[in-house]
Chain A
């Protein structure tokens, strides 16, 4: 495997990590708001808060990691994406900032459940994935223009009126809700909280259909928008088939209320296969058709240094993350709320 492929694979893994942890977080924010509207807040709020409090900071790091890493390995991405993404990127930053800080303000500061605040929190949970997913859309090409001098112009109206970009937004929002509900189902079960479990299980099942439907929509939209990518994706068709099989297993387990931890692992596999299948099909392009992973790849010593630092860092991070999960995810007493702060 070349350094380029190792680099992009490592980054893709981090992006996948962000996709999972951020989805849980964003979806939980939405459900928290939705449950207030339907009068079920008292049922599910406890488990959501107990899970989110110790981990919300870590979620952000996955994202920072990805964009620092991609600039390191592929310096040209900073130039193209940096120029093109000023508006969607800034909006995403502002939403993330409001959401992150207000989460901390309400959790650690004054305990006041204002409806307006909950609305902001819930709405941002859906708007952030929408804003971030535009990066994926742009990577397919057709939304930026590069002139002879290398000046990059972002075609905002084209993005706004394209069917493909809206199907991606739809998929992002729906999957966030699905992933989050599936996780909360597992967590509520661990917490032995029947009331919460029944509520979030319904959410999970309700969002499973739309997830699959919007995935199919994106497939068709790519075919229309970027046939080259679609062709390449069909050569990885088996990955999407496996992804669908994992989806069926996950839903079956949740439906029969059995082995919910395993069910969530299958959810991760479902998205893992689809995400890596999509990514593999996208290669070698980082930004179709302007930028491939071979264009202006970082120098060899830098690539080796970055990969080594990655490995050393992971040796430090994996045990720490494991400790965090042991203390707050797999510690039955904590999950059930029997430990004080």
Chain B
């Protein structure tokens, strides 16, 4: 398929997937880190503790680099939507222009205040004035995630439109934002972005502590980020459960494909792991009785629709089961790491900052969290195939017919490789050449403020 001739639909899908996969890393950081910066700065001001203020400052400095890549890749995907999916955007322009538009507004708002925030650290008499500048950044970044996820929710479960013979006839501009997929999707995206950023920042502190740099600054940072991560982890579990119930009601084919559930049945079991043979038999999987019925409808005896009762050409690819299982495996590991930290912090505080295995685990949690986001998105996006607009437009009908999508794919892949490597190098260099200890010494806040 890949090498057999030029297929613009396939290349468009690959290019969009790669762009989004790359953008999501930076977009997630863009949504979550401002909240963590705000948290650190607020605690710093409240407790009059210079360490937290420095934390906010250092996080903000690294944040700018990721924002830059996020902005340019975001611009790329924004334009690519029209370049690669012109027919889809024609429909989107009619129906979901408002959230697309509001997303840009939110981003505008964020960009203005981020610029101000970064250059006014020592400009105002009251520290709170500077803190307030961050609030529009937090609101703007979360709001843009909210609006753009709304667009994606619409693709999964179109709302606010009247269909006649597969054509959209009437449109309610704001109704499109109230898709049934919206509440679970938006809350899941926001919470997991916060969660991932808390883990990423925790990993940085854990790394320094593991290197034997045991300044109290790193301990404060680790505690703040890990406690935040635990809270976000708990809330994302609840939302994850609600997402399952949403799928059962609105996109049963996605749920059925994800769980290899072929026959419609009550007391449906949940399949963990396993492989699927050619004739759709599940081998080596662990079946948890009743679990799928509980996940789907909250009752052990509830009926769950199977793939055999759904049109065959509307079923998503069955490999999404693996994506979902890998994702849940990562989640389990993260829960384990966060629980271990909290337990050790509660029983023997000093060990929480010095136990090598615990610190290594926390470092591991950061890439795991990012991978979970990637797996979750790929699962969700592949899971709504063959539709680009569920029930309205197939992906193949939305793609461009232009030549040269393959060359563009190569160019963009090169671009992302270069951007990825450089941003990591720049970030490493920034913090290696200016360690927190040096900065504390330079600012004369060695011992920190009052606790």
Docked Cα-Cα span, A103 to B95, in Å, equals 36
Stretch at the interface among A29-37, A58-66, A233-241: A58-66
List 29 A-B pairs, Cβ < 8 Å.
A57-B67, A58-B115, A61-B108, A67-B79, A67-B82, A75-B89, A78-B89, A78-B90, A83-B86, A86-B402, A90-B80, A90-B83, A94-B411, A96-B72, A97-B72, A100-B68, A102-B422, A104-B65, A105-B65, A109-B427, A298-B93, A302-B97, A304-B173, A309-B102, A313-B108, A316-B109, A328-B116, A340-B122, A341-B118
Assess whether A141 is interfacial by the CB under 8 Å rule.
Answer: no
Task: Flag if A76 contacts B79 (CB, 8 Å).
Answer: no
Task: Flag if B91 contacts A75 (CB, 8 Å).
Answer: yes
Given A65-B104, A81-B82: A97 in contact with B76 (beta carbons within 8 A): yes
Task: Flag if A86 contacts B75 (CB, 8 Å).
Answer: no
Assess whether B275 is interfacial by the CB under 8 Å rule.
Answer: no
Assess whether A317 is interfacial by the CB under 8 Å rule.
Answer: yes
| Chain A residues close to B by CB (< 8 Å) | 53-55, 57-58, 60-61, 63-65, 67-69, 71-76, 78-83, 85-87, 89-90, 92-94, 96-98, 100-105, 108-110, 151-152, 154, 298-299, 301-302, 304-306, 309-310, 313, 316-317, 320-321, 323-324, 327-328, 334, 339-341
| 8 A-B pairs with least C-beta separation | A72-B97, A75-B93, A104-B68, A82-B86, A305-B173, A78-B89, A109-B426, A54-B115
Docked Cα-Cα span, A301 to B162, in Å, equals 14
CB-defined contacts of A83 to chain B, threshold 8 Å: 86, 400-402
Docked Cα-Cα span, A81 to B81, in Å, equals 12
Docked Cα-Cα span, A334 to B115, in Å, equals 14
B393 to chain A, nearest CB (A): 13
Docked Cα-Cα span, A92 to B72, in Å, equals 11
Docked Cα-Cα span, A66 to B234, in Å, equals 40
Docked Cα-Cα span, A54 to B89, in Å, equals 33
Task: Flag if B93 contacts A71 (CB, 8 Å).
Answer: yes
Task: Flag if A313 contacts B105 (CB, 8 Å).
Answer: yes
Assess whether B264 is interfacial by the CB under 8 Å rule.
Answer: no
Which residues of chain B in 53-87 are interfacial with respect to chain A, using CB atoms and an 8 Å cutoff? 61, 64-65, 67-69, 71-76, 78-80, 82-87
Task: Flag if A78 contacts B119 (CB, 8 Å).
Answer: no
Task: Flag if B104 contacts A299 (CB, 8 Å).
Answer: no
Docked Cα-Cα span, A97 to B171, in Å, equals 35
Docked Cα-Cα span, A265 to B56, in Å, equals 39
Task: Flag if A79 contacts B97 (CB, 8 Å).
Answer: no
Assess whether B45 is interfacial by the CB under 8 Å rule.
Answer: no
- Among B73, B93, B100, B429, max chain A CB count under 10 A is at B93
B142 to chain A, nearest CB (A): 16
Given A67-B78, A103-B68: A86 in contact with B400 (beta carbons within 8 A): yes
Task: Flag if B426 contacts A87 (CB, 8 Å).
Answer: no
Task: Flag if B83 contacts A57 (CB, 8 Å).
Answer: no
Docked Cα-Cα span, A102 to B71, in Å, equals 12
Docked Cα-Cα span, A95 to B163, in Å, equals 41
Task: Flag if B408 contacts A76 (CB, 8 Å).
Answer: no
Assess whether B328 is interfacial by the CB under 8 Å rule.
Answer: no
Assess whether B290 is interfacial by the CB under 8 Å rule.
Answer: no
A295 to chain B, nearest CB (A): 12
**Interface membership of chain B positions 161-200, coded 1 if the CB is closer than 8 angstroms to chain A and 0 otherwise:** 0000000001111100000000000000000000000000
B174 to chain A, nearest CB (A): 7
Docked Cα-Cα span, A292 to B79, in Å, equals 22
B19 to chain A, nearest CB (A): 10
- Among A80, A82, A92, A309, max chain B CB count under 10 A is at A82
Task: Flag if B123 contacts A79 (CB, 8 Å).
Answer: no
Task: Flag if B119 contacts A341 (CB, 8 Å).
Answer: yes
Task: Flag if B118 contacts A54 (CB, 8 Å).
Answer: yes
Task: Flag if B426 contacts A100 (CB, 8 Å).
Answer: no
Assess whether B206 is interfacial by the CB under 8 Å rule.
Answer: no
Closest B residue to A90 by beta carbon equals B408
Closest B residue to A319 by beta carbon equals B112
Task: Flag if B87 contacts A79 (CB, 8 Å).
Answer: yes
Given A53-B119, A93-B76, A100-B72: A58 in contact with B82 (beta carbons within 8 A): no
Task: Flag if A64 contacts B75 (CB, 8 Å).
Answer: yes
CB-defined contacts of B109 to chain A, threshold 8 Å: 316-317, 320
Given A64-B78, A68-B78, A76-B90: A105 in contact with B68 (beta carbons within 8 A): yes
Docked Cα-Cα span, A109 to B73, in Å, equals 19
Assess whether B308 is interfacial by the CB under 8 Å rule.
Answer: no
Assess whether B121 is interfacial by the CB under 8 Å rule.
Answer: yes
Task: Flag if A301 contacts B91 (CB, 8 Å).
Answer: no
A274 to chain B, nearest CB (A): 26
CB-defined contacts of B415 to chain A, threshold 8 Å: 94, 97-98
Pick the residue among B78, B119, B174 that contacts A328 (CB under 8 A): B119
- Among B74, B86, B120, max chain A CB count under 10 A is at B86
Docked Cα-Cα span, A100 to B73, in Å, equals 10
Pick the residue among B71, B97, B114 that contacts A298 (CB under 8 A): B97
A167 to chain B, nearest CB (A): 25
Docked Cα-Cα span, A97 to B78, in Å, equals 13
Given A54-B118, A101-B69, A306-B101: A93 in contact with B94 (beta carbons within 8 A): no
CB-defined contacts of B426 to chain A, threshold 8 Å: 105, 109-110
Pick the residue among B73, B90, B107, B120 that contacts A79 (CB under 8 A): B90
Docked Cα-Cα span, A46 to B68, in Å, equals 21
CB-defined contacts of A68 to chain B, threshold 8 Å: 78, 97, 100-101, 103-104
CB-defined contacts of A313 to chain B, threshold 8 Å: 102, 105, 108
Task: Flag if A78 contacts B93 (CB, 8 Å).
Answer: yes
Assess whether B213 is interfacial by the CB under 8 Å rule.
Answer: no
CB-defined contacts of B100 to chain A, threshold 8 Å: 68, 71-72
CB-defined contacts of B82 to chain A, threshold 8 Å: 67, 71, 78, 81-82, 89
CB-defined contacts of B104 to chain A, threshold 8 Å: 61, 64-65, 68
Docked Cα-Cα span, A53 to B117, in Å, equals 12
CB-defined contacts of A104 to chain B, threshold 8 Å: 64-65, 67-69
Assess whether B378 is interfacial by the CB under 8 Å rule.
Answer: no
Docked Cα-Cα span, A100 to B74, in Å, equals 12
Docked Cα-Cα span, A80 to B119, in Å, equals 42
**Interface membership of chain B positions 112-156, coded 1 if the CB is closer than 8 angstroms to chain A and 0 otherwise:** 111110111111000000000000100000000000000000000
CB-defined contacts of B90 to chain A, threshold 8 Å: 75-76, 78-79
Task: Flag if B68 contacts A101 (CB, 8 Å).
Answer: yes
Task: Flag if B86 contacts A79 (CB, 8 Å).
Answer: yes
CB-defined contacts of B116 to chain A, threshold 8 Å: 54, 323-324, 327-328
